[in-house]
A and B are shown apart, each in its own frame.
Chain A
Amino acid sequence: MSLRWSGPAVAGAVIVALMAALAVAGPIVWGEAAERIDAGAILQGASAEHPLGTDNLGRDLLARVLVAGRFSLALALAATLIGAAAGIVLGTLPSVLPKRGARLATGTVNALVAFPGLLLAMFTAVVTGLGARGAVLGIGAAIAPGFARLTQTLAASVAGADYVSAARMLGVPRRRILSRHVLPNIAEPLILNLTQALGGALLGLAGMSFLGLGVQPPSFDWGRLLFDGFSRIYVTPEVALGPAAAVALAGIGFNLLGDALARAAARTTVRKMDEPPAPPPEPGEPDPGAVLDVRDLTVTFPGGSTPVRGLSLAVAPGEVVGLVGESGSGKSLTAAAVGGLVPYPGKVTYGRLHLGGRDVAELSDKELGTALAMVFQDPLAALNPALKIGGQLAEVAVVHEGATRAAARRRAVDRLGQVHLPEPERRAAQHPHELSGGMRQRAVIAMGLMGTPRLIVADEPTTALDVTVQRQILRLLREVVAETGAATLFISHDIAVVGELCDRVVVMYAGRVVEELPADRLADGAAHPYSRALIASLPDLDTDRTRPLAGIPGTQPAPDQVGPGCAFAPRCSLATERCVTQRPELVAHGPLQRVACWEVS
């Protein structure tokens, strides 16, 4: 457990500590004052002597509020313990009972959880009669279903763990699994949730007493004091505000602390962010023929992590450039940077980022929205589950071109047909979940065709699809490029797919381009040791199946741990002293090929 001591959590802890101190010391210090009857000071408002006024026997209300803390908290504690005990028993029943009984127990818990606690409390109060006992039992009954649900959920999550499965396979009885494996592992979150329940119980009991259904005189808790004070609210409102403030403060304190504790029970650590360093941009000669022209693109994240470092590339109209590399090489962030979609707090700097000869920063949303088509890995995630396919396509035309809904819809159906989606009319009226994976990816591509795409950025568009569907989508992409003449940046970790689809291949390693070459030279012309290792790791028909697949030993350095030399040097068999200390630049290596390596150039 890692409890984050944020402001609210500290405030909550302080209030709860004060309440605990009050419960211990209150009756000792003010006990006598709270009971001192003064016939001369009956039903007074606030005065210097009695800051909160006096009650119908002339007793000081401030002292009574301070004394009532112990009883209020004690009742809340009792109700919480009753509720938690009952809830935990009810919640563990499904894991010990036979199947039918378990289902009944689960159903009961589900039905009870839906019932407002106050209703259950009132039911109990009717049965047990008025008084503190009835109220405590009632609030306990009100707390129990929530605890039962929590126990059930937690127990179910632990039940899937390997050690429980192992115990079950070894024939350990269910009861023993529960007591030895399940309960100890869910105890912490249950205990952490007690604080919140305690706060709820306190407020619930105050409510019952306030209605006259809880604590009865001569006993008094905060709710009862509020009940007495409320009848005088038109004459001396301050007498009601004292107990009200006490209840509110206690409720807030327990809730704030309980919130922090409950969250600590299921915390994932979040890293701290620092200010990013800004690297200097240095533009070179613009490439007039290219649709996409990128020079010195750098993406930094706070904390010194730089996943993309000084990347340059250009894509001509109708050209498909493959961007390959292992996971974490920075290829997807490159795609995101080109689309202006790098998530906060990432910072993008560039010497030049031109789309169609103009800086993307100068392009309007309308121009970018219609000129850029993006295709992501998971088409189900990329489509809005709540909107119909046709509507999601049509909105580009509606928003950016002011098309009427009918015209936009006609175009959407037309584009769906263009990507060979069968029955485009019907599909347009369906939601994403009604389509297969391949159809969804076709719909996403069709969405990119709604404008006049000049650049298509496809980030692993076939990775999430079946092999046969992959082929169809690749064929479709090639067809779309041929029809529209759009420049295409195709990102993939699969060098075989890239070799098949692309005209040119750019190999990335640790945020930098290490090699650039025509796709048809990939098989035998790759020069960089990393590119060669990537290709060698591909099995083909000639691969000796009796030997293990060739992998690349070692791992890519993390984006914040790249040294001064060649990032691949630690894994490279050709590496020398120079490779470790000095970084090789990307230089020409024969026609149409460039490579960043000291040893081959």
Chain B
Amino acid sequence: MPDSSGLDTPMTATGTRPGPASGAGRRAPRRRTRVVVRRAVRFAVSLAVLLAASFAMIHLIPGDPVRTSLGPAAPVELVEARRAALGLDRPLPEQFVTYATNVLSGNFGTSFITSEPVGDVITARLPNTLALALLATLLALLAGVPLGMWAAVRTQNGRNRGSELTFGSVTGTAVAVPEFLYAIGLVSAFAVGLGWFPPAGKAGPITYVLPVLALAAGPVAMIARIARVETLRELGKDYVRLARAKRLPARRLHLRHVLPNTLTATLTVSGLLLTSLIAGSVLVEYVFAWPGLGLKIVESITQKDFPVAQGVILVYGAIVLVVNLAVDLLLGALDPTSAIREQS
């Protein structure tokens, strides 16, 4: 390909890569280490950017955030005192250094409204949010992957057109309905209508059912669609022909040969899924009055409680980064070829 970078890359590449003298066996682990290091660097950079963004958030608010928060009627002395307490009267670079040091040592500031340390709010509420998101992801994978594989086996090479159409329309519809509508539907049907489940709050395992279902419904359909496409692709490959020639039972063929090869894409998506579920939980928590971070962030934005909003958004962002890093590393360990694919 005629690319401006085409001339110099091969030369630098041969310079840094181990020569052909080293054995194939020794090259692989070293390459993997390099991938891990690069991922870690990328993570650190993203974290720094995130920190800067959350710092900038307060300063991007037009006017004075303290005045905005306290309202026009608040006495000037109170505003000045609050500004000084927050360090807002200091020069910007100094403020950023203070902010970064504080955050990294676990100090996220104090709430304008309740004077609670934001760090305490986060530690109290984060586990509730994570529990919802993790359970929903698990449910989405456990239900979606088998559903998608089953659909793929049933519809491969264009057989059972009817099933394909049904699967496509049902999952297409299910994906398009946002989680808060599932939540409202579930509440009105099973909590208000039938009274089988409590409509809101967190008290024991039974209160998890509706929020997790609301959160997982769309992702189940999405994972099923991806699993179907991935399975269809794998079913067309030569190793499946060879496995068929070996006359392996269908179960073994699908579970042992096809499934592991579809997991790379499915896991990548479920990583993204987990992060989007953590965000999606904001709406579901709101519907179910679930004492998680999501409910808190809505409250803090409505009440203009900026330190809380800032801290919670920072934590959300950090979770996204951590999950992405974890998925990358997991993929590298699970799929022996992905690290090499990254190189080429």
Contacts from A to B (Cβ < 8 Å): 6-8, 11, 99, 111, 114-119, 122-123, 125-127, 129-130, 160, 165, 168-169, 199, 203, 206-207, 210-213, 226, 230, 233-234, 237, 240-241, 244, 247-248, 251-252, 254-256, 259, 270, 273, 336, 339-341, 343-345, 365-366, 368-369, 372-374, 376-378, 381-387, 395-396, 399-400, 426, 431, 433-434, 444, 447
A126-B61, A230-B184, A344-B156 known; A115-B282 Cβ under 8 A = no
The 8 A CB mask of B93-111 against A (1 = contact, 0 = none) is: 0000000000000000000
Q: Provide the residues of chain A in CB contact with B287, threshold 8 Å.
A: 230
Q: What is the CA–CA distance of A369 and B252 in the complex, to the nearest angstrom? A: 14
Contact call B279/A381, Cβ cutoff below 8 A:
no
Contact call B159/A345, Cβ cutoff below 8 A:
yes
Report the nearest A residue to B241, measured CB to CB: A341
The 8 A CB mask of B302-344 against A (1 = contact, 0 = none) is: 1000100110010011001100100000000001110010000
With A255-B172, A365-B247 known, 19 other A-B pairs at CB within 8 A are: A115-B275, A117-B279, A118-B282, A126-B61, A130-B301, A211-B282, A211-B283, A234-B192, A251-B176, A255-B175, A255-B176, A256-B176, A344-B159, A345-B158, A376-B242, A383-B242, A385-B337, A387-B257, A431-B336
A251-B177, A344-B159 known; A8-B252 Cβ under 8 A = no
Q: Does B163 contact A (CB under 8 A)?
A: no
| Nearest chain A CB to B285 CB, angstrom units | 10
Stretch from B1-9, B120-128, B205-213 at the A interface: B1-9
Residue A8 contacts which of B2, B46, B172 (CB distance < 8 angstroms)? B172
Q: Provide the residues of chain A in CB contact with B168, threshold 8 Å.
A: 6, 8
Q: In the A-B complex, list the 7 residue pairs whose CB atoms are closest, starting with the nearest.
A: A369-B247, A116-B279, A255-B176, A386-B260, A365-B247, A381-B238, A237-B188
Contact call B176/A199, Cβ cutoff below 8 A:
yes
A169-B2, A211-B298 known; A240-B243 Cβ under 8 A = no
The 8 A CB mask of B177-195 against A (1 = contact, 0 = none) is: 1101100110110001100
Q: Provide the residues of chain B in CB contact with A247, threshold 8 Å.
A: 178, 181
Contact call B176/A400, Cβ cutoff below 8 A:
no
Q: Provide the residues of chain B in CB contact with A254, threshold 8 Å.
A: 176
Q: Provide the residues of chain A in CB contact with B2, threshold 8 Å.
A: 165, 168-169
A114-B324, A210-B283 known; A376-B241 Cβ under 8 A = yes
A210-B180, A344-B156, A368-B247 known; A431-B337 Cβ under 8 A = yes
Q: What is the CA–CA distance of A207 and B285 in the complex, to the nearest angstrom? A: 12
We find that the number of chain B residues with CB closer than 8 angstroms to chain A is 82
Q: Does B157 contact A (CB under 8 A)?
A: yes
Q: What is the CA–CA distance of A374 and B246 in the complex, to the nearest angstrom? A: 8
Q: Provide the residues of chain B in CB contact with A7, threshold 8 Å.
A: 165, 169
Residue B49 contacts which of A111, A127, A241, A433 (CB distance < 8 angstroms)? A111
| Nearest chain A CB to B302 CB, angstrom units | 6
A8-B168, A212-B298 known; A341-B246 Cβ under 8 A = no
Q: What is the CA–CA distance of A203 and B218 in the complex, to the nearest angstrom? A: 13
Q: Does B297 contact A (CB under 8 A)?
A: yes
| Nearest chain B CB to A276 CB, angstrom units | 14
Report the nearest A residue to B316, measured CB to CB: A119
| Nearest chain A CB to B139 CB, angstrom units | 19
Q: What is the CA–CA distance of A385 and B243 in the complex, to the nearest angstrom? A: 13
Report the nearest B residue to A250, measured CB to CB: B176
| Nearest chain A CB to B183 CB, angstrom units | 10
Contact call A365/B249, Cβ cutoff below 8 A:
yes
Contact call B313/A126, Cβ cutoff below 8 A:
yes
Report the nearest B residue to A450, measured CB to CB: B246
Q: Provide the residues of chain A in CB contact with B4, threshold 8 Å.
A: 99
* Chain A to chain B contacts (Cβ below 8 Å), 8 pairs: A114-B321, A116-B278, A122-B313, A126-B301, A130-B301, A247-B178, A373-B245, A433-B340
Residue B178 contacts which of A206, A237, A399, A431 (CB distance < 8 angstroms)? A206
Contact call B5/A99, Cβ cutoff below 8 A:
yes
Q: Does B173 contact A (CB under 8 A)?
A: yes
Q: Provide the residues of chain B in CB contact with A373, threshold 8 Å.
A: 245
Contact call B178/A212, Cβ cutoff below 8 A:
no
Q: Provide the residues of chain A in CB contact with B24, threshold 8 Å.
A: 434
Report the nearest A residue to B169, measured CB to CB: A8
Q: Provide the residues of chain B in CB contact with A395, threshold 8 Å.
A: 246, 248, 252, 256
Contact call B247/A123, Cβ cutoff below 8 A:
no
Q: Provide the residues of chain B in CB contact with A369, threshold 8 Å.
A: 245-248
Report the nearest B residue to A336, measured CB to CB: B241
Residue A115 contacts which of B68, B187, B320 (CB distance < 8 angstroms)? B320
* B2, B61, B238, B245, most chain A CB atoms within 10 A: B245
Q: What is the CA–CA distance of A400 and B157 in the complex, to the nearest angstrom? A: 28
| Nearest chain B CB to A140 CB, angstrom units | 16
Report the nearest A residue to B3, measured CB to CB: A159
Q: What is the CA–CA distance of A119 and B241 in the complex, to the nearest angstrom? A: 45
The 8 A CB mask of B273-284 against A (1 = contact, 0 = none) is: 001101110110
Q: Provide the residues of chain A in CB contact with B316, threshold 8 Å.
A: 116, 119
Contact call B158/A273, Cβ cutoff below 8 A:
yes
Q: Does B17 contact A (CB under 8 A)?
A: no
| Nearest chain A CB to B251 CB, angstrom units | 10
A251-B176, A382-B241 known; A130-B302 Cβ under 8 A = yes
A126-B309, A233-B188, A374-B242 known; A384-B272 Cβ under 8 A = no
Contact call B1/A160, Cβ cutoff below 8 A:
yes
Q: What is the CA–CA distance of A336 and B238 in the complex, to the nearest angstrom? A: 12
A116-B320, A234-B192 known; A384-B246 Cβ under 8 A = no
Report the nearest A residue to B185, measured CB to CB: A244
